[in-house]
Amino acid sequence: MLKWHQGIGLGLFALQVATTAVGQLNYSDKYGSSAPRTAKYEATHAALAFTNLGVFAVNGTLALLAPTPKNKVKHGFDRVSLHKLGMALATAGMLAQGATGIYTNSREGYLNQEKWAKTHLAIGYATFAAMSVAVGALVF
């Protein structure tokens, strides 16, 4: 299970990088100064975002269902603890991302859509940062 979790986790991190990058492109296309408003990143960002949420849920489930090693000695706050903390924060971020993303999309044509989009973008970067710390704790 650990090998599967690690492999899916590295793929998930790459997916998170892509989702964040395309999300920024989507935001800049729609709300940036002199934005062209082409909507060419909307479908790609939506597909990446929903795939990201699904893979995150699968990998999180794998982690939660993994058996605890017998005779495991706890040595205080270690790299695994940092990974768990980072992923707990990323989980909160993913849930908030899903909610704000769907709500922002529903605000099309309303004056407050840009405010919600900016909130969604900020949560996206915070989620990416939490996941980066979590992955970095075990990879480096």
Q: Residue 110: its pLDDT value, please?
A: 96
Q: For residue 118, give the DSSP letter.
A: H
Q: What is the pLDDT of residue 52?
A: 97
Residue type, position 70, single letter = K
What would the pLDDT profile of 74-94 be if each residue is shown by its tens digit? 888 999 999 999 999 999 999
* Separation between Cα atoms, residue 46 and residue 80, nearest integer Å: 31
Name the residue with tokens 């699968």: 58
Locate 109 and state its tokens: 């044509």
Q: Using one digit for the tens of pLDDT, what is the confidence trace for 6-40?
A: 999 999 999 999 999 999 999 999 999 888 999 99
pLDDT at residue 68 is higher than 90: no
Q: Which helix (H) or strand (E) holds 76?
A: none
pLDDT at 1 over 90: no
Q: Judge whether 30 and 39 are in contact, CB under 8 Å.
A: yes
Helix (H) or strand (E) holding 114: helix 113-139
Q: Give the pLDDT score at 101.
A: 97
| Tens digits of residue pLDDT in 33-59 | 888 999 999 999 999 999 999 999 999
pLDDT digits (tens, 9 = 90+) for 91-125: 999 999 999 999 999 999 999 999 999 999 999 99
